[in-house]
Chains A and B, each alone.
Chain A
């Protein structure tokens, strides 16, 4: 049995193409999502036009300068500033009334909705606090620091990384196992094994063990790339991540067996495997929290095996919790192991599909 497991590991390790995709696929996603910078503070050029400098205009300019992402120009002519707005030189133009009283008029380009919302709310807050101060309310000079400029400690990559680990393990196991078994059948290796004293269950068990081991290595590499290349942070115990990935991997391997049972050839196995894995990949919260899905979908998605895995991985990785804190998720994965084993048992055929 030891020899068989070692041989199975060698086969997996030497299948460089499969190995490459097992690692490259999650990394490609990591790179692609690096292009969308969800943490980015909008960069906004603001022009402040004050015909006469006043306490109001000074407070406004210095307040705006405090805000991350704001570049503030002081312009003398409103017309010139508005021309700059049309040329996209400025995102927002603020006109301070002469004498510092009355309405500050904000001109903005309607097309950049998100930036404007951000800029206008920042301006509103600065104006409010300036008003308070000018009204004699003593507060620590202009509470500009209070302007909310997204400073979440958990960044998108920290969120994405556990999802990518789960996705990588799932794809490698469902599709990899289904294709491998299907190929063994097509090449009559399964039949050849049946003609030896080796029990077919032992042969398949060795495959499973080899894949469980390799998936841990795969998870470790994805984590390492995420942390050291993309700067993601893992707050929890990495060991729990491996334990969870291995538990879920049993489910994925069972699904792989079930797919191999129904696929007529390796190409079909690849196709069916993808058909099973892809929806989970997009729905189970690899890239975005599942609460962004419609309510009905959420209740369905919650039952997919990838969902509790990702939730549990995030509880460990982001919240730094122990595996015991993810009790419901672990229980659901355990249930899936049993259910998927039964499904695989029903669908898997050693002989021709």
Chain B
């Protein structure tokens, strides 16, 4: 059995552009997802996340390149692949006039391997809603249902396209728990897209930062942050103005920002290296520092650093 859950090679997808010509939604993407991983695509709308996912799922044809799941080609082995994957579509709905139980039962009937609806609903805390229609659910419940509906066949690889978009913070956290459980308890591989930094940081083993149809960076959230020239910020308030050149002289300081009102921020690559030296230096100067804080950089900073623009502008 292969250890590679998802394989994407030199993927290109072009669409005819409304104004004539072609639009490259996906511009040469290659990556692999290992079995048991939670793999995240992080990027703004229109970055090519959904297109990439749908090509892997066999829903769209690539212009060039190849994709496969569990060693099966997305096009040539589509039928076999479909038995093993679970697909949750972005903003996808289910039948208006069937109950949750009936929808799961119906979708289960499409597969060779299937789980009983009660068991699935139990898993997402919707058992008591089994006779309800989807439209009678709250946003969070509906989203939980749409995830569990992608798991009727007990798939090995689950694709979730922006599973938490449009949810309130509490519902989003609940969903994170669910995705974690899918991953941890059932050892399923999860491939998901998101445009929430926090979500990618919390859930994903590895994150691909995608922008303009290309993967700009791909690593674990920790490594992505670490790789930044300034992975940490040391913020403090000084009792009197300090020359920036003196701060720049401290070990590991990449940048100094004076924010006015005597507030300063040092961008450093390693806090454990800079911080003791900084404290010693301040003592030596007789500076009584106020509110010294060490802040880790976030994926937001990574995104800004690798793409040159903020995630949401």
State the A residues within 8 Å of B (CB): 3-4, 7, 10-12, 14-15, 183, 187-189, 191-192, 194-198
Among A3, A15, A192, A197, contact of B89 (Cβ-Cβ < 8 Å): A192
Beyond A188-B92, A195-B87, A197-B110, 17 extra complex contacts between A and B, CB < 8 Å: A7-B95, A10-B97, A10-B98, A10-B102, A11-B95, A11-B96, A11-B97, A188-B90, A189-B92, A189-B95, A191-B92, A192-B92, A195-B89, A196-B82, A196-B110, A197-B82, A198-B110
B-chain residues with CB within 8 Å of residue A4 when the two chains form the complex: 106, 109
A192 with B97: CB separation less than 8 A: no
Q: Can you report 26 residue pairs joining A to B where beta carbons are below 8 Å apart?
A: A3-B106, A7-B95, A7-B98, A7-B106, A11-B96, A11-B97, A11-B98, A12-B97, A14-B98, A183-B96, A187-B94, A187-B96, A188-B89, A188-B90, A188-B91, A189-B93, A191-B59, A191-B92, A192-B89, A192-B92, A194-B58, A195-B58, A195-B85, A197-B79, A197-B82, A197-B110
B93 with A188: CB separation less than 8 A: yes
Closest partner residue, chain B, to A7 (CB atom): B106
A-chain residues with CB within 8 Å of residue B58 when the two chains form the complex: 194-195
Q: How far is the CB of B136 from chain A (nearest CB, A)?
A: 13
- What is the CA–CA distance of A192 and B92 in the complex, to the nearest angstrom? 8
- What is the CA–CA distance of A198 and B107 in the complex, to the nearest angstrom? 9
Query: Does B281 sit at the interface, judged by CB under 8 A?
Result: no
A-chain residues with CB within 8 Å of residue B102 when the two chains form the complex: 7, 10
- Chain B contacts with A in 86-142, Cβ cutoff 8 A: 87, 89-98, 102, 105-107, 109-112
A-chain residues with CB within 8 Å of residue B87 when the two chains form the complex: 192, 195-196
Query: Does B301 sit at the interface, judged by CB under 8 A?
Result: no
B110 with A191: CB separation less than 8 A: no
Q: How far is the CB of B120 from chain A (nearest CB, A)?
A: 15
Tell me how many residue pairs across A and B have CB atoms closer than 8 Å. 63
B57 with A195: CB separation less than 8 A: yes
Query: Does B274 sit at the interface, judged by CB under 8 A?
Result: no
Query: Does B220 sit at the interface, judged by CB under 8 A?
Result: no
- What is the CA–CA distance of A192 and B79 in the complex, to the nearest angstrom? 14
State the B residues within 8 Å of A (CB): 57-59, 79, 82-83, 85, 87, 89-98, 102, 105-107, 109-112
Q: How far is the CB of B108 from chain A (nearest CB, A)?
A: 9
A187 with B109: CB separation less than 8 A: no
B-chain residues with CB within 8 Å of residue A192 when the two chains form the complex: 87, 89, 92, 94
Q: How far is the CB of B294 from chain A (nearest CB, A)?
A: 45
Closest partner residue, chain A, to B95 (CB atom): A11
A-chain residues with CB within 8 Å of residue B82 when the two chains form the complex: 195-197
Q: How far is the CB of A103 from chain B (nearest CB, A)?
A: 75
Knowing A195-B59, A195-B89, say if A189 contacts B94 (CB, 8 Å). yes
- What is the CA–CA distance of A10 and B92 in the complex, to the nearest angstrom? 21
- What is the CA–CA distance of A29 and B295 in the complex, to the nearest angstrom? 74
A-chain residues with CB within 8 Å of residue B90 when the two chains form the complex: 188
Q: How far is the CB of A17 from chain B (nearest CB, A)?
A: 11
Closest partner residue, chain A, to B92 (CB atom): A188
Q: How far is the CB of B132 from chain A (nearest CB, A)?
A: 13
A-chain residues with CB within 8 Å of residue B95 when the two chains form the complex: 7, 11, 189
Closest partner residue, chain B, to A2 (CB atom): B109
- What is the CA–CA distance of A189 and B79 in the complex, to the nearest angstrom? 18
Q: How far is the CB of B104 from chain A (nearest CB, A)?
A: 11
A196 with B111: CB separation less than 8 A: yes
Return the 10 tightest CB-CB contacts between A and B, nearest first. A187-B93, A14-B97, A195-B87, A198-B110, A188-B92, A11-B97, A196-B110, A197-B82, A3-B109, A7-B106
B-chain residues with CB within 8 Å of residue A196 when the two chains form the complex: 82, 87, 107, 110-111
Closest partner residue, chain A, to B152 (CB atom): A196
Among B85, B96, B106, B110, contact of A15 (Cβ-Cβ < 8 Å): B96
B-chain residues with CB within 8 Å of residue A11 when the two chains form the complex: 95-98
Most chain B C-beta atoms within 10 Å of own C-beta, residue among A3, A7, A10, A183: A7
B-chain residues with CB within 8 Å of residue A189 when the two chains form the complex: 92-95
Q: How far is the CB of B76 from chain A (nearest CB, A)?
A: 15
Closest partner residue, chain B, to A11 (CB atom): B97
B-chain residues with CB within 8 Å of residue A14 when the two chains form the complex: 97-98
Q: How far is the CB of B116 from chain A (nearest CB, A)?
A: 14
- What is the CA–CA distance of A194 and B87 in the complex, to the nearest angstrom? 10
- What is the CA–CA distance of A198 and B79 in the complex, to the nearest angstrom? 9
Closest partner residue, chain A, to B83 (CB atom): A197
Closest partner residue, chain A, to B93 (CB atom): A187
Q: How far is the CB of A85 from chain B (nearest CB, A)?
A: 64
- What is the CA–CA distance of A197 and B90 in the complex, to the nearest angstrom? 20
Closest partner residue, chain A, to B102 (CB atom): A7
A191 with B97: CB separation less than 8 A: no
Q: How far is the CB of B206 from chain A (nearest CB, A)?
A: 24
Q: How far is the CB of B286 from chain A (nearest CB, A)?
A: 66
Q: How far is the CB of B256 from chain A (nearest CB, A)?
A: 50
Closest partner residue, chain A, to B149 (CB atom): A192
Closest partner residue, chain B, to A16 (CB atom): B97
- What is the CA–CA distance of A67 and B83 in the complex, to the nearest angstrom? 80
- What is the CA–CA distance of A11 and B102 in the complex, to the nearest angstrom? 11
- What is the CA–CA distance of A54 and B125 in the complex, to the nearest angstrom? 99
Most chain B C-beta atoms within 10 Å of own C-beta, residue among A7, A188, A194, A195: A195
- What is the CA–CA distance of A7 and B97 in the complex, to the nearest angstrom? 9
- What is the CA–CA distance of A188 and B91 in the complex, to the nearest angstrom? 8
- What is the CA–CA distance of A192 and B95 in the complex, to the nearest angstrom? 11
Q: How far is the CB of B83 from chain A (nearest CB, A)?
A: 6
Q: How far is the CB of A78 from chain B (nearest CB, A)?
A: 74
Q: How far is the CB of B75 from chain A (nearest CB, A)?
A: 13
B-chain residues with CB within 8 Å of residue A3 when the two chains form the complex: 105-106, 109
- What is the CA–CA distance of A15 and B133 in the complex, to the nearest angstrom? 12
Q: How far is the CB of B79 from chain A (nearest CB, A)?
A: 6
- What is the CA–CA distance of A198 and B108 in the complex, to the nearest angstrom? 10
A-chain residues with CB within 8 Å of residue B111 when the two chains form the complex: 196-197
